[in-house]
Structure 1
């Protein structure tokens, strides 16, 4: 019986070649094929498998780089899983290099905290309530998420938060309800904090969890926007900004971006209510970055 599988053959071949994943990534890049280190690691360990056209192009390039017969790795892949319109997007995970052009160490931090494999956890909804203080500075964000397990044994998720250039310190994540903060990886070089959120119980397929936590910011200058990079596409995303009643902006607008360097696309003007709040609700977000910008 042939027990070779795509991950076992890939792992064995990489070991035999003496190449590190970083070296393999560079060799693929030289051939015009972009693939993140975390994706290569997931393929090698069998946590995910190549399915999309660009992924299959990477598989073909790997066969050449690793000196395997053409089609040797591809033929080990099972038929692509049937997926509905939402399932295909909900199962996607946007890798760090797609959103932030692979800031140093971020993929390694995600791997170290054992982020759930793509397709094992659906984000049904995410609600960010971001607050500014009376000096117009970032103060805190309360995050509420409704999660559903698509596999047995889900017990955690991983969240990323990034300080602004002028912040005096990296953000601090504090558990609210339904969760605890586990391991944390702080990265001062790129201003990220990567945190493990431990659920209050281990989920089986179809079970849901409601978690909330707070992010505390250390802003020093008036903020001009708040945004979230949606690494896993939620069914709905609600961003709410609370301004101090003595420091209400002149205008407030929603926007989206394709990545952190892409031009902002307008999502419409938002009305600031009598109590200093504005919000923007997006169902099935089509862009990975959604936010609110304001003018003082």
Structure 2
């Protein structure tokens, strides 16, 4: 197959074909395995993983403008005209939020997507969770007062921010949910959604975290609503990493029993539930090492 035929197999009318479609057709036309494509890119001085190439061609992730040198080299490897792929790389404003994983575990994924779209953020999915340690305080009114989060992530692409979500109790005043940076980050754009009590926010890292590097950051969520709560949970978008949560109850608002629960989706019945002992009179904890996406959490009851 000559060069002209290969190019004809990959037309690039702007606005009608997506990056992943053109890339997929180009790879097929060249007859190269992704591992061979990667070798050709390395020979041109561009480092990229086979997994990233796979994500790109399947549309599971979108390349950023920071990837343009790699994509220019990719055009050479696939013997495409200059601009065939680079012209299809979405701008920061055009890129779509990375949904799918969130949609698999909660019904309000579309709301989160819309809030992220309003912010124009494109950082979802660029950093994998290695560990998350949460310290949660339940106050005298039986409401969540503060949540201190200590998180470690590893970047799959260069990234300088992380999008987080928090849901208060339904009916609460979302303007009373405050996000405070502690270390390794500062607060960027924030969006609220009153009907679902959702807050979606950007945490801006204090540096650019390059691919394969790790980053440690801490932040606090403060809730002044004083709305009683009876459970705390964490959504795991993928397997891997470790999650630890420790709940501390006010001495005048101790539960009579606490149980851990695990669900496939937030709205599903419990897949597993069992009692959890209360230590030192007012503390409980849960350690989760998720192997698949899902929900893990603690629930409690009062007299």
Q: Normalised by the shorter chain, which TM-score bucket?
A: 0.5 to 0.7
- Tell me by how many angstroms 1:275 deviates: 4.7
1:125-204 mapped onto 2 (5 Å cutoff): 125-151=131-157, 153-170=158-175, 171-204=177-210
Structure 2 stretches of 5 or more lacking a match? Answer: 19-53, 61-97
Query: Against the structure 1 CA distance between its residues 226 and 7, is the aligned structure 2 distance closer, same or farther, given a 3 Å change threshold?
Result: farther
- Whole-angstrom distance in 2 between the partners of 1:216 and 1:272: 24
- Tell me by how many angstroms 1:252 deviates: 0.6
- Whole-angstrom distance in 2 between the partners of 1:125 and 1:234: 9
- Whole-angstrom distance in 1 between the partners of 2:56 and 2:267: 28
- Whole-angstrom distance in 2 between the partners of 1:232 and 1:93: 12
| Aligned-pair Cα RMSD in Å | 3.0
Query: Against the structure 1 CA distance between its residues 127 and 93, is the aligned structure 2 distance closer, same or farther, given a 3 Å change threshold?
Result: farther
Aligned twin of 2:287:
281
Length-normalised TM-score, structure 2:
0.65
Larger Rg: 2
- Tell me by how many angstroms 1:249 deviates: 0.8
Aligned pair 1:247/2:253, yes or no?
Answer: yes
Aligned pair 1:50/2:58, yes or no?
Answer: yes
1:134-180: CA deviation from partner (whole Å, max 9, x where unpaired) = 121111111111011122x2111100111211423342211111110
Query: Against the structure 1 CA distance between its residues 106 and 271, is the aligned structure 2 distance closer, same or farther, given a 3 Å change threshold?
Result: same
- Whole-angstrom distance in 2 between the partners of 1:218 and 1:49: 46
- Whole-angstrom distance in 2 between the partners of 1:179 and 1:5: 46
Length-normalised TM-score, structure 1:
0.66
- Whole-angstrom distance in 2 between the partners of 1:131 and 1:6: 57
Aligned pair 1:236/2:242, yes or no?
Answer: yes
Tell me which moved more, 284-293 or 243-252. Answer: 284-293
- Whole-angstrom distance in 2 between the partners of 1:115 and 1:178: 19
- Whole-angstrom distance in 2 between the partners of 1:4 and 1:213: 52
- Tell me by how many angstroms 1:266 deviates: 3.0
2:103 alignment partner, SS class: helix
Structure 1 stretches of 5 or more lacking a match? Answer: 15-45, 53-91
Give aligned pairs, total.
224
Query: Against the structure 1 CA distance between its residues 135 and 191, is the aligned structure 2 distance closer, same or farther, given a 3 Å change threshold?
Result: closer
